[in-house]
Amino acid sequence: MDCDVVIVGCGVAGLYAALNLPATSRVVMLSKGELDECDSMLAQGGICVLPEGDDYDSFFEDTMRAGHFENRRESVDIMIRSSRSVINDLVALGVEFNREADGSLAFTREGAHARPRIAFYRDVTGKAITSKLLERVQQLPNVEILDHTAMIDLLVEEGECRGVVACPVTEEQSVQTIDELMPEDATAPAAGDPAAGDPAAGTRPAPAFEIHAGATLLATGGIGGVYQHSTNFPQLTGDAVYLATKYGLETEHLDYVQIHPTGLYSQRPGRTFLISESCRGEGAVLLNQAGERFVDELQPRDVVAAAIREQMRADGSEHEWLSFAPVDPAVVREHFVNIRQRCLEEGRDILDESIPVVPTQHYFMGGVRVDRDSATAMPHLYAAGETSCNGVHGRNRLASNSLLEALVFARRAAYNIATGRSLEVEAAGEPALDGAHRATGIDASIDRLCAAPASSAPNASDPASPVRGESSSK
């Protein structure tokens, strides 16, 4: 199979990159499991945005402080100044957000934020964004999506990435690591050979095939699938990091794993349900077994998670409690519909009683090291989203920066793939939050979907060739 760009992963990073690539380029996207089995779908709290230029310093400081000042300052700056363009794109594509009475975006606040600056849609923001991006990508004639298809290797020629090796997988196989999916030896049976076994039986994957591409974007998500207890989908097994290590590419901060303070404690097996930090931003409080508050709930996540673990040890308990008593019941009914429903399934109504919560693995700050354009050290290989490390988050991620960071740097990857240049960064507070898409001058698919004139781009130029580099089809 030949294409201009292959994107491994169908979360917000992969989808938004596809939308921002030239409409004339052929794009192939891989999803290891079902299309909705990506962590972007699970984000509850919201997506950060710079509400006005005067908030820049505070937003920057909050991000740096949460990351223990181990963040890359350039990356934090790019993320914040690009946030308004990203939100405008989402609105232009049809993503819904909660609004104030005057029609402006409503903002909520979460832990370690000095002020409300988080756009949201109820308590299912990630699903609202990802579903709409997927819907729009599925409208593109130049994009082919292969679900239940796992990447098991890179195609590397003379030190340059030329695509990926992939194989079809069943739902059962989709949770396996690359090691588990790789053929046992080089003499593995070919397609159609009875010795290969039945792929539908969940024992061994179907025979592998090559996807040759001019550029490759890894957007495979985090590492929660290798943990016993995680808020992540089990398909997230660190595949991009594994292959980066195999080919000697630099990885960064592999030990920086975020433990979310409030996973819903349950004796049911499977993925832990997240109780969004926005609950505490709206006033919910943490209580010990004696019903007493024991921590400032709006501190950074690592601080709150550590306090809960310490209190659990002191109480000799397997969880502590989160109370919604201080939260306006109308806010609970309107903002936390999904969370309330999930808790009702566990036999608890958050309007009437506290719920048991426990720290659980949630997010991976480390990953494949990339530059300001999401490029790795290997030519034609890019990484974006949770699988990459561009330095935005430092040692600990600020709440609701994950969706924004993934989108900002996916857009930058797409632009660099198309032009070989770095996308110009907007001034703080620009453009207006008016829900209008601004084109970047490369005739991207999103331009056509939003019918945006190329002359509105801050650095528009004559359209470049579909992508830099040559796929084997050219």
Exposure class string for 56-76: b at 16+ Cβ within 10 A, else e: beebbebbbbbbeeebbeebb
In 67-188, alpha helices (H): 73-93, 125-137, 178-181
- Whether 293 is catalytic is no
Strand 2-8 relative to strand 27-30: parallel, antiparallel, unpaired? parallel
Angstrom distance (rounded) from CA 146 to CA 208: 14
Burial category of 198 from C-beta neighbours within 10 Å (exposed 0-12, middle 13-18, buried 19 and up): exposed
Element (H, E) at 144: strand 143-146
Say if residue 351 is exposed, middle or buried (CB neighbours under 10 Å; 0-12, 13-18, 19+): middle
3-class secondary structure, 182: coil
Q: Is the peptide bond before 431 cis (omega within 30 degrees of 0)?
A: yes
Q: Are 125 and 107 contacting, i.e. CB atoms less than 8 angstroms apart?
A: no
Return the number of other C-beta atoms located less than 10 Å from residue 135's C-beta: 12
Three-class secondary structure of residue 307 per DSSP:
helix
Residue 452's alpha-carbon distances to 82, 443, 446, in angstroms, are 18, 10, 8
What is the rounded distance in angstroms from the CA atom of residue 428 to the CA atom of residue 91?
A: 20
Q: How far is CA 108 from its chain centroid?
A: 20
The b-or-e profile of 81-108 (16+ CB within 10 A means b, else e) is bbbbbbbbbbbbbebebbeeeeeebbbb
Q: Which uninterrupted H or E stretch holds 194?
A: none
350 within 8 A of 332, measured Cβ to Cβ: yes
- 458, 441 Cβ separation under 8 angstroms: no
Closest CA to 237 of 17, 401, 32, 409: 32
Q: Which entry of 26, 122, 204, 301 is annotated as an active-site residue?
A: 301
Which residues are catalytically annotated?
A: 301
